[in-house]
Amino acid sequence: MPAGDVAVLTDHQRSELTRLVQKAEKLSGLTFSVYVGDLASGRKTALSLHGQLQDPAMSVLVAVDPNERELHIVTGRQARIGLTNHACSLAAMSMTSSFNVGDLLGGLRDGLIALGEQGRSAPVLHVRDV
């Protein structure tokens, strides 16, 4: 998880955020990262951070700049298959409604769980060669 501005979150909140990231990963099979801090160039910075992840194709980055009130969800090529723009928009709306009332961790919680559930691959019940 990219560090960002660690002063924004308490130790307990960072621990809880790590647990939430792990839950989203377990739900979806994707790799999640959260960045909370300065996004000097907005989406460009978020895209750069995403590109630095270990496996960008299978990764989802949730980048939040609380001071500028910015949120960016960046999905890799493979992650985008399950996480459509619509699914990311719904998660973003959920997060921003919490952010607007000052609940950073609650917004991240709601967003990560929504993204994890939406990114879940549908189970294959029967496969047959034709």
pLDDT at position 71, please? 97
pLDDT at position 82, please? 87
CATH number of the domain that 86 lies in? 3.10.310.50
Judged on CB neighbours under 10 Å (0-12, 13-18, 19+), 46 is buried
pLDDT at position 8, please? 73
**Owning domain of residue 33:** 6-118
Counting the structural domains of the chain, the total is: 1
Going from the first residue of the chain to its last (130 residues), give the mean pLDDT of each consecutive group of 10, the final group possibly shorter: 63 95 95 95 97 96 95 96 93 95 95 93 56
In a domain? residue 130: no
Write down the H helix ranges in 4-123.
Answer: 11-28, 43-51, 79-82, 85-99, 104-118
In a domain? residue 44: yes
State the pTM of this model: 0.87
Distance of alpha carbon 126 from the chain centroid: 31
